[in-house]
Amino acid sequence: MSWLIEGGTALLDGALRPAAVALEDGLVAAAAPAGARRFDATGLLVLPGLVDIHGDAHERQMQPRPGIGFPAGLAMRDSAAQLLAAGITTACLGVTLSWEPGLRGIEAWRRTLAAVQAVRADGGCDLRIHCRYEADNLDALEELLADMAAGRVALLAFNDHTPGIVRRLPDPAKAAAYAQRGGVAVSDFTVLAEAALARRGEVAEAHAQLAAAARALRIPMLSHDDATPEDRAAFRALGAAVCEFPMSEAVAQAAREAGEHVVMGAPNVVRGGSHMGWSAAAPLAERGLVTILASDYYWPAMLEAAFVMAGRGVLDLPAAWALVSANPAQAAGLDDRGRIAPGLRGDVVLVDPDRRAPVATFCQGRLAGMAAGAAARVS
């Protein structure tokens, strides 16, 4: 099916202007195709679909309460619907592959990969796997390498949460929360955590193997929660060219000086600061130290963050939108999306600027989601 989206204000070549956008055969077309259906976008902004490079809100559908799980297939269908409603047309799901049991363990990893594969057949949001590999999860190394070789992993991020988890275990509340998420007793979780940390000497070699495989397969790599510029440099040496959630401004500065993308959370912008007490993302983005805003744990924050950034008066909306569309697409190696231009994927979101809300979402040229009442705009 082909479409002509007319009457709206489109983001084209870095500027907003009245223009029609045509979609044909899954792509943006240079001209209106014959027999195209029409979507009246009067009063709406016609923007590139949001590209989420890091979002783990799907975990809430899988485990809405600690220890309460639902089938991965059902959870992923719900996640896909929520993504479309948020205007996200490409979602790199942050799936943690940890030594932990339960939600972030190897069985959950397998179920999630299978569920994503099943939902992809529906032709909606382009779901991709952003593997958050936990450094001490050495037992999963061979399986992950096989999944990478099979094309099931789109992004590889290096995580290192185990030392922090072990440090917090003496706190009964923290220990109980970790154990609940894993579905085991606190004593059993403690044994697992300490056993994982005891193999720390093997981590460097595992990272080297993963990085070599990712380079060979052209899988973009990211490092997560870098504490120092030296940490960033070490991951840069492995080929991880994206810095996500740097723990200090100095780390972000070092990454940008190296020409790397820096990712922070859109919820940070919407809420006015980090819930972790780290740097505020908005002023760093205005200074060019943050180039990508990801959903992190809350999908609706991406679209809202772009409008918040524009409302601050430093970046205009096209520049703010690049933080949530063109830039993450580039960092993820997805040169076929993130902008509206002939020959690119027909991923477009129509937004009511007054409500800051999606009215319709097109994925690969297909009308994949509409808000209540939007059907009246279709002819």
Least confident range from 128-132, 183-187, 209-213: namely 183-187
pLDDT band at 367 (very low <50, low <70, confident <90, very high): very high
pLDDT at 278 exceeding the cut of 80? no
What's the confidence (pLDDT) of residue 369? 95
- 137-185 tens-digit pLDDT: 999 999 999 999 999 999 999 999 999 999 999 999 999 999 988 989 9
What's the confidence (pLDDT) of residue 224? 94
Average pLDDT in the chain: 95
- 139-150 tens-digit pLDDT: 999 999 999 999
pLDDT at 276 exceeding the cut of 80? no
Interval 104-127 mean pLDDT? 93
pLDDT band at 122 (very low <50, low <70, confident <90, very high): confident
pTM: 0.95
- 50-62 tens-digit pLDDT: 999 999 999 999 9
Helix 72-85 and helix 106-120, axial crossing angle in degrees, nearest 10: 60
What's the confidence (pLDDT) of residue 121? 81
What's the confidence (pLDDT) of residue 4? 97
**In the chain, % of residues over pLDDT 70:** 99
Interval 354-364 mean pLDDT? 97
What's the confidence (pLDDT) of residue 120? 87
pLDDT at 295 exceeding the cut of 80? yes
pLDDT at 66 exceeding the cut of 90? no
Ordered structural domains, the chain, with CATH: 3-46+352-377 (2.30.40.10), 49-337 (3.20.20.140)
pLDDT band at 211 (very low <50, low <70, confident <90, very high): very high
Which is more confidently placed, 33 or 275?
33
Least confident range from 26-40, 167-181, 182-196, 268-282: namely 268-282
